[in-house]
Amino acid sequence: MSSRSLKPAPNVSTKTGARRQLAKTLIACLIVVAANVSCGRAGQRGETAPAAQTTPTAQRSQTLTAGQPPQQDGALLRVCADPNNLPFSNERREGFENKIADVLAREMHRKVEYKWWAQRRGFIRNTLRAGECDVVLGVPASFELALTTSPYYRSSYVFVSRKDRHLDIRSFDDPVLRKLKIGVQLIGDDSANTPPAHALTARHMVENVVGYTVYGDYSKPNPPARIVEAVARGEVDVAVVWGPLAGYFASRQKVSLEVVPVSPEIDLPFLPFVYDISMGVRRGDDALREELERVIERRRAEIETILDDYGVPRVGREQQLQATS
pLDDT tens digit sequence for 74-90: 799 999 999 999 999 99
| C-alpha of 64 from chain center | 27
> Which of 134-138, 174-178, 183-187, 237-241 shows the lowest mean pLDDT across its residues?
183-187
What is the pLDDT, as a whole number, of residue 220?
86
- The DSSP secondary-structure symbol of 65 reads B
CATH number of the domain located at residue range(s) 4-29+155-273 in this protein: 3.40.190.10
The residue ranking higher by pLDDT, 232 or 217, is: 232
Q: How do residues 143-163 score in pLDDT, each as one tens digit? A: 999 999 999 999 999 999 999
Residue 297 buriedness (CB in 10 A; 0-12 / 13-18 / 19+): exposed
Residues 117/126, Cβ–Cβ less than 8 Å: yes
Residue 81 φ then ψ, to 5°? -155, 160
* Torsion angles phi and psi, residue 39, rounded to 5: -125, 170
pLDDT of residue 78: 98
- The answer to whether the 4-29+155-273 and 58-152+275-324 domains have the same CATH topology is yes
Q: Are 29 and 197 in contact (CB under 8 A)?
A: no
Global pTM reads 0.80
Q: Identify which of 317, 313, 282 has the alpha carbon closest to the alpha carbon of residue 156.
A: 313
**pLDDT computed for residue 187 by the predictor:** 79
Pairing of strands 135-140, 89-90: unpaired
Can you give the pLDDT at residue 188?
A: 61
Cα–Cα distances (Å) from 68 to 49, 149, 150, 189, in that order, read 31, 18, 22, 36
- In the chain, the percentage of residues whose pLDDT exceeds 70 is 73
Question: Is the CATH number 3.40.190.170 carried by domain 58-152+275-324?
Answer: no
Which phi and psi (to 5°) does residue 217 adopt?
A: -90, 100
Short-list 149, 234, 220, CA closest to 183: 234
Among 197, 308, 300, 183, residue whose Cα is nearest residue 248: 308
Cβ pair 25, 12 in contact under 8 A: no
Mean pLDDT of the chain: 81
pLDDT per residue over 12-34, tens digit each? 344 445 555 544 544 544 444 43
Residue spans per domain, the chain: 4-29+155-273, 58-152+275-324
| Residue 200 · residue 206 · CB < 8 Å | yes
What pLDDT score does 152 carry?
A: 98
Cα separation of 264 and 257, whole Å? 21
